[in-house]
Structure formats: structure tokens, C-alpha cells
Amino acid sequence: MSKSQNEAVKLKKSKFKMTNRRRDAIAGLLFLLPWIIGFFAITCYPLIYSILISFNQVAIKPGVIELEPIGLEYFRQALFVDAEFPTKLLLSLISVVIGTPLVVVFALIIAVLLNRKFRGRTIFRMIFFIPVIIMSGPVMTELLTETSAMNINFNIFGVTDILQELNNFWANMLLTFLGSFVRILWFTGVQMIIFLAALQKIDQNMYEAASIDGATAWEMFWKITLPYIRPIIMLNSIYTIVEMGTFADDATNIKIVNSIRDIARPYSYAAAMSWIYGLCLLIMIIIVFLIFTDWKEIRRTRNERQRNQAGIQSGK
Amino acid sequence: MKDKETKLEFKAVNKLFHNFFVGRIGKSSILSRILTYVILAGLGFVFIYPLIYMISTSFMDSKDLVDSTVTWIPTHLSLESFIKAARTLEVWNGIRDSLIVTVLPAMLQTMVLSCAGYGLGRFPVPFKKLWIALSVLIFLIPAQVTMIPRFLLFNSYKMIGTIWPVYLISILGQGIKSSIFLLVYYNFFSTYPRALDEAARIDGAGRFKVFIKIALPMAKPAIVVCFLFSFIWIWNDTTQIPQYSTGAVTTLPMHLQQFVDRFNKLYSSAAVSTGGALNESIRLAGTLLTILPLIILYLILQKQFVESIEKTGITGE
């Protein structure tokens, strides 16, 4: 085979590959198309539009909606004039801030316990997952506020009495925690399953090696399990923040939904409030992200990559 | 002789203690197993306490409710509350409406997102990382932000008050938490072996045929997760559907939301004065009836619910 022929074959091959690749890209785009259209039409456009109307006065004329720039007025009204919104916002945010770590910790405890081999774990797993299926705004409202189905009496050993008598900051905190204990636990279902799936993927040999070296189960949890599932903890924390923040029985959400058709300031006031709440939640998510990102690990891999590149260059 | 016996005894006791506190090799100790059961049973009790309370209270009649000696077990099973709650809720209408906006949209969303995930996972789509980043971002931005402009959008197409917004949202894959499903599919399709696909391609099957005949059957756990969770999340949704589709449908949870008004409309004040007022038993019977379809679904499919999450590799590899 002559050299030129060889090159021609190569060229033909590379050309074929290119078109094939391009065809693949087009096919992929076609598969993705409905989602992309949906994203731009009913997610991205509404998102931008909602920023726009939060800075505008909306006037509904027959057939058209007129916008009149009003600046930050609605944000100011929501934060400083409205009698209800700031307190409701603060309450929602506090419940998310306190709720998230509790949800994640309880989900982890349950997952670690369920991960052990014992009889009846499927039944327990089934019980712990029930709330995910049935949780909706109205059901929560009925169980939590309209009836006493969710108020467990923890006063078996007179605990609540003692706490009420103490009446200091921590005692009150503990009392409110006990009061919303069931609600917090009911948010753990999905996170527990995610933890369980992650725990089952940890290499059992590591535990075996550690136990031969004389590590106790407690030590192994802190030294092996926890570092391994650190990214999953971040994932679950973010999921919990989103889940709790957007839940339908949340006071702020109810306030936002109720003021959509506010007569004096339709749509835009609710949009401004939803952005304030949304930004607060986003800040929380960013904080969680910063806490759980393993900066040491990132630095190490970056250094290694640089070293490898340097090695390749010097090797050449 | 006696010395030997006590030594043996001591050994046996020691072994017992060892098993109890430390455990045999490869087995956890009895103590830790007991502790596991105790903690799980305690937490499990807290988890299902509201359900037990709901079931026991909804079978009580108004006499049992007031009687302080009756705490958990009603003196006789009374279906009075259930009958009243069912009439108030208009259960059958509610279930019908719920099914209308739940079953088909959940299926559509499952299909569309499986396509999208396959496209992202298997093909060199331009801006792949951008699409993934955007889908994560959508998940992080609370749904209530987009709700108002979506309402205005549907309003301008005269779709408010019909069931079409719910269908449109699903067919474009933008439903509640749909980003999670997209990421699950993406993760699934980008990690499973490509050899099968390629073999089929060489045999002359088109890309779409490969997707339908080979990729989809393999993605069964992801499809199950996506469908079941779409189903329950749409069923339980009471923020979006009421905004878009009031008038066309009133789902079962929406009926529960209006429980007090509906009850007062149905039972006149005359009935209230003769002890027929709205009480906890009726309210909880109503709540129980609302979640009953979901619980039945869960009891049938409970294995699929939990196990398919573990199989889809939602946690990333």
C-alpha cells in the first residue's frame, strides 16, 4: 500500500468520523429538544419575567398587561412596610435553618441503623418512607395545626413540665423542638434512602481492615463512614433546604400565594416577595456548599495535576 | 476439681459478656443489636404516631371524643365520621380529578425526561455542561418564583381554568422537581455499558430504535423512580394546580384544603346544634380518605419505591 493511499484512507475515515459525530450531536439535541423548549418557554422566560415585574407596577387592561417602572418600591414595602411578611419570612428561615441539620442528622442516624444486618429492616424502611408518599400541604395542616395528630405527648417522665418550669432559652428551644419533632422527622424519607444507597457502596474491606487494627464501630463511623459520605451530606442538606423552603404549608409561601391577586399591586408584589425568599434560600444553599466542599481535596488534585503536567513536559 | 469447674463457669460467663458487649467475630454484639432495635422502634413510633392517631380517632364517634377515659381504642367502631367526611370531600369526584391531572402528566413527564436524559447521557450534545448546570439551577430556585409569570403566560393563551397547563408543563419536562429526574436519567445513561447500543447500531438499528428497544428496557429502575415520584408529587401538589386549573379540576387534596367550608355548606346549622358539628374525628377521617389512595399504591409498590432509588445510583458513582 503506497503512502498516499494510506493517507487517503485515513482522511476518509476522519471525515466519516466527523460527520458521524455531528449526526450524533444532532440526534442528541433532538432527544433533548422538548426539554430545551420547555426550559426556555416555561422556566427561563418566566424567571426573567418575574424579575421584571417585581420592579414594575402591573396594570391589567383588557387584553394586555401594562408595566410601569417602580424600582425597588415593592421590595421596600415587603421588608419595611408590610406588617406580616418580615415576621413570616424570619419564621420560615429559622425553621429551615434549624430544621435542615436536624433532618440530615436524623436521616443519617436512621440510615446507619438500617444499614446493619438484622431481621425486620424492610418493615422499618417501609415505615420510615411512608411520609414521603403522603406529605402534602393540606394533609400537614390538618395533622399539625387543625388537629392534635402530630402533637406527641413527651411528658411521660415529666420532661415537658421540668422544661416549662426552667423557662430559659435552651429549655424553650428544646420545647419547640419537641413540638415540631414529628414534622422534622417526616421530612427525612428521601434523604434517608439516599444515605442508605451511599452507605451500601462503601467498600466493606475498609471496615474489615480497620476492625483488625482494633478500631471500634464508633471510631469507624467518624473516620471512614463520615468522610466518605461527605458529598452526600451536602446533597441531602441542599435537598432539605429546597424541600422545606418550597413546602406548601410554609407561612411565607402561603402569604406569597395569597397576595398574587392583591388588588392594588397585582402579581408584582408577590413576585418581589418570592424573590426575597428565594434569594435567602439560595444564600443558605451557597453556605452549605461552601461548608461541605472539601477544599483540601480540590487543592491536592490541582497540585497533582500540575505536577503531572510538569512531569510530562520534563519527560519530553 | 472444684477449681476447674469455677474456671469453666467463669469462661462461660465471660463468653456471654463478650457476646453481649463486643460480639463474636463478624457479628455485632447483642447489646448493639438491642440498641438498634430500641432506637429504630422509638423513631418508628414517632414516625407513624400521626397515622395511628388518625386511624384510631377517625373511628370514634362524638361521644368517644369527649370521653376522657377513651384514649386509643374506640368503644365501638363508628363509620359515622367516614360517611360524613366522604360526603364532604366528594371522594369520587376528587379521585377522578386527581387521576386526570396525575396519571397522564406523570407518564408524559417520565417519557420526555427519559428522552432528554438519554440525549444528554449518550450523545455529544453541544453545551452539555451548560444544560446540566441549568437543570441544577432550576432545582435550586424555588418554584414559587416562576409561578406568577407562568400564570400570566398561560393566561395570555387562555389556558387558565383548564387542565392544559398541567399537561403542558409535563410534556415539556418542567414539572415539580423534574431536574432530579433529568439528572437521574443522565447519570444512568452515561454510566451503563455502551457496547449493547453499538452492537445494535452496527446491526442497522436507527438511534431512536436503539433508544426504545435497548436503552429504555435497561433503564427500568430510573423509569420507575421517575414515574412514581412524579405521580405522588403531582398528586400532592396544592400550589401550582389550584393556580392554573381551578374550575376545571378540584383534586382530592384541594377538597381537603376547603374541608371546613365544604362541611359547613353541606351540614346546616340545625345539624350542628344537635351534636353534628365538625369535630376532630371527621377531620381526621377526611385526611385519612385523602391519603388512602396513595397508601394503597405504596403498599402495592413499596419495593419498587425504595429499591429503585438504590438502583438508579442517585448518589453518583
Contact criterion met (CB < 8 Å) for A42 and B150? yes
Name the one residue in this structure whose C-alpha cell is 436536624.
A102
Percent of chain B with pLDDT over 70: 88
Label residues A138-148 b or e (16+ Cβ within 10 Å = b).
bbbbbbbebbe
What does the mean pLDDT of chain A come to? 83
Per-residue pLDDT of A145-176, as tens digits, reads: 777 777 777 666 667 777 777 777 777 777 77
Label residues A197-206 b or e (16+ Cβ within 10 Å = b).
bbbeeeeeee
Contact criterion met (CB < 8 Å) for A147 and B115? no
Question: By CA distance, what is A129's nearest residue in B?
Answer: B306
Q: Which of A36, A198, A260 sits opposite B315 (nearest CB)?
A: A198
Structural domain includes residue A62: no
List all residues 6 or more positions away from A167 whose beta carbon is below 8 Å from its beta carbon: none
pLDDT tier at A90, thresholds 50, 70, 90: very high
Instruction: Work out the average pLDDT over B173-181.
Output: 87
CA distance B108 to chain A (A): 11
More confident residue, B317 or A175: A175
pLDDT tier at A97, thresholds 50, 70, 90: very high
Give the pLDDT of residue B110.
Answer: 93
Structural domain includes residue A147: no
Structural domain includes residue A86: yes
Give the pLDDT of residue B317.
Answer: 41
Q: Which of A31, A136, A186 sits opposite B236 (nearest CB)?
A: A136
What's the predicted TM-score (pTM) here? 0.85
Give the pLDDT of residue A4.
Answer: 56
B118: its cell numbers: 438519554
Per-residue pLDDT of A25-80, as tens digits, reads: 888 889 999 999 999 988 899 889 888 888 888 887 766 777 888 888 888 888 88
Instruction: Work out the average pLDDT over A305-311.
Output: 83
Structural domain includes residue A88: yes
Rounded-to-integer distance, Cα A278 and Cα A284, Å: 10
Instruction: Work out the average pLDDT over B139-147.
Output: 82
Percent of chain A with pLDDT over 70: 91
Are residues B152 and A267 in contact, defined by beta-carbon separation less than 8 angstroms?
yes
Chain B residues in contact with A21 by the CB 8 A cut-off are: 124
Mutate which of A103, A125, A142 to test chain B, going by most B C-beta atoms within 10 A? A142
- Radius of gyration for the alpha carbons in chain A, expressed in angstroms and rounded: 28
More confident residue, A16 or A241: A241
A316: its cell numbers: 519530553
Question: By CA distance, what is B53's nearest residue in A?
Answer: A149
Give the pLDDT of residue B27.
Answer: 59
Per-residue pLDDT of A117-138, as tens digits, reads: 778 888 888 888 888 888 888 8
pLDDT tier at B267, thresholds 50, 70, 90: confident
Minimum mean pLDDT range among A37-51, A154-168, B25-39, B208-222: A154-168
* Structural domains of chain B in order of their starting residue, each with its CATH number: 15-83 (no CATH), 87-312 (1.10.3720.10)
Minimum mean pLDDT range among A91-100, A186-195, B191-200: B191-200
**By C-alpha distance, which of A69, A102, A135 is closest to B253?**
A135
Per-residue pLDDT of B111-134, as tens digits, reads: 999 999 999 988 888 888 899 999
Contact criterion met (CB < 8 Å) for B148 and A35? no
Whether residue B290 has pLDDT greater than 80? yes
**By C-alpha distance, which of A277, A257, A96, A239 is closest to B254?**
A257
Structural domain includes residue A178: no
CA A179 to chain centre: 24
Question: By CA distance, what is A244's nearest residue in B?
Answer: B142
Per-residue pLDDT of B228-237, as tens digits, reads: 889 999 999 8
pLDDT tier at A1, thresholds 50, 70, 90: very low
Task: Respond yes or no on whether ipTM tops 0.85.
Answer: no
pLDDT tier at B106, thresholds 50, 70, 90: very high
Chain B residues in contact with A147 by the CB 8 A cut-off are: 57, 280, 283-284, 287
Chain A residues in contact with B243 by the CB 8 A cut-off are: 257, 260
Structural domain includes residue A103: yes
**By C-alpha distance, which of A236, A206, A246 is closest to A103?**
A236
Split into its structural domains, chain A has a count of: 1
CA distance B233 to chain A (A): 8
Structural domain includes residue A174: no
Domain CATH for A130 = 1.10.3720.10
CA distance B68 to chain A (A): 15
Instruction: Work out the average pLDDT over B93-121.
Output: 92
E strands in chain A: 56-61, 64-69
Structural domain includes residue A94: yes
Rounded-to-integer distance, Cα B254 and Cα A137, Å: 10
Whether residue A179 has pLDDT greater than 90? no
pLDDT tier at A276, thresholds 50, 70, 90: very high
Domain range for residue A275?
73-135+187-305
Rounded-to-integer distance, Cα B150 and Cα B175, Å: 12
More confident residue, A234 or B9: A234
